[in-house]
Structure 1
């Protein structure tokens, strides 16, 4: 059986599935119906474009069944003003309430983030959610330990802050989200950045404050005790991290940013 089959009774022969297939795996049969290439199963990246574009349920992909493909609700209208404000008003939150973020909200944000695009639909990202504030504090200590070892002047101030009882590395956040991906996949960093950005926006829409954990990302690349504490599997690297929690303060304005530097051709 072919990976993709076409119901000729439903198909309108509009060519949409053939047009949107990134691998060009369709051709028309003598009657004008789309036909999946005989060797298409090996080249198909399971992106689902063909399933998504057919408005007549005429196409069946054996690994992307229609009953698992949610119908778009055409009655939902995207409010561009609200969307623009969400994107412009997002802040890197570094002051958090002590109360925990409901796990259900984090699950929802990850569920949205897993739909983020990835190169050839590889979907390489794996998620680690650390909910225990004490464990987050322990990880911050391992970051401090690493920065002491490498002895770079630019980090001296932060080490001093840590020694004074402040946490400049994970900002005393109650929770931490870490993503990792395979070292042998050339697009792991890009795919992970897209996924984590999508998570960040989904979290912001749910009232969760986030901030990229750059210190931890740096330390995870060079400090084996931190890798072990995180439980990063062999052959994977940390490709992104966010501290998160409920924001202690509410922001009221959108500060200005530099004008976009654009070259039009």
Structure 2
């Protein structure tokens, strides 16, 4: 007879459980105990401390651990997947360039969706997953947003004169903000969450690497990011909620040019202990 112990969030199928202790070992919050027979026990009162990371169901080779918020039918088996070699990853990272010259044709929407799908699996503190994505595909809208950022730089250039040349370039018909990129991705997250900056940066970095792997050129849009958090018209144009801040932005598109060499970088500053 299949014996299960039902709990608020976790079900342990005793008939399938191998009593190997892996689910308890990988739980980042330490919410499992072990009973006298060696079976894992989800601790009484632990529901409110569970972050629904899914480690317990992911590690169990027998599918004996069940989580009410994470149904197994929504958690497919990993199966076999292509092995990404260290040299291949090294080459991808070293060959990545900040692209500021783009072709006129748009990036296919399906490819952008695949990149976002990859990026949404980025880790976040206690599995909060606070990142909200805004993808702007219309070049004219990207241009309008760049203009709003220039308006902000024009306002602050008296106190920060280093921005005046950028305003001059814009008035000369050039775009020093988003480089005439056809597309833009912006990430924003709640201000009340202490780790929004880190979580958003990790997610956007994962977006960038997936984009480069798909042949998309990217460049971090720091000027737009600053303006978005200081200029109300730009915030409103982006639709950023009042309790959110912009924590990152990337201009992107198909690269106009192909790079043929990998320029050197400084050696890593490492202290070994």
**TM-score, L = length of structure 1:** 0.98
Q: Partners in 2 of 1:111 and 1:57 — Cα distance?
A: 25
Task: Say what the alpha-carbon RMSD is for the aligned residues.
Answer: 0.9
SS in 2 for 1:73: coil
5 Å matches for 1:144-155?
Answer: 144-151=150-157, 152-155=160-163
The structural deviation recorded for 1:77 is: 2.0
The structural deviation recorded for 1:54 is: 0.6
Aligned residues: 265
Runs (4 or more) in structure 1 with deviation over 3 Å come to none
Q: Which residue of 2 aligns with 1:170?
A: 178
Q: Partners in 2 of 1:175 and 1:127 — Cα distance?
A: 13
Which residue of the other structure, out of 197, 208, 212, is the alignment partner of 1:204? Answer: 212
Which residue of the other structure, out of 236, 239, 243, is the alignment partner of 1:228? Answer: 236
SS in 2 for 1:12: coil
The structural deviation recorded for 1:66 is: 1.3
5 Å matches for 1:47-66?
Answer: 47-66=53-72
Give a deviation string over 1:191-218, Cα, whole Å, max 9, x none. 0000000000011111111110000011
5 Å matches for 1:36-185?
Answer: 36-74=42-80, 76-151=82-157, 152-185=160-193
Ranges in structure 1 where 5+ consecutive residues have no aligned partner: none
The structural deviation recorded for 1:175 is: 0.5
Which residue of the other structure, out of 38, 41, 51, is the alignment partner of 1:35? Answer: 41
SS in 2 for 1:177: strand
Q: Which residue of 1 aligns with 2:246?
A: 238
Q: Partners in 2 of 1:75 and 1:248 — Cα distance?
A: 32
The structural deviation recorded for 1:74 is: 3.3
The structural deviation recorded for 1:81 is: 1.5
Q: Partners in 1 of 2:260 and 2:65 — Cα distance?
A: 49
Ranges in structure 2 where 5+ consecutive residues have no aligned partner: 1-5
Give a deviation string over 1:20-74, Cα, whole Å, max 9, x none. 1011110111100001112121110001111111111111111111111122233
SS in 2 for 1:148: helix
Give a deviation string over 1:103-146, Cα, whole Å, max 9, x none. 11111111111110000000000000111100100000011110
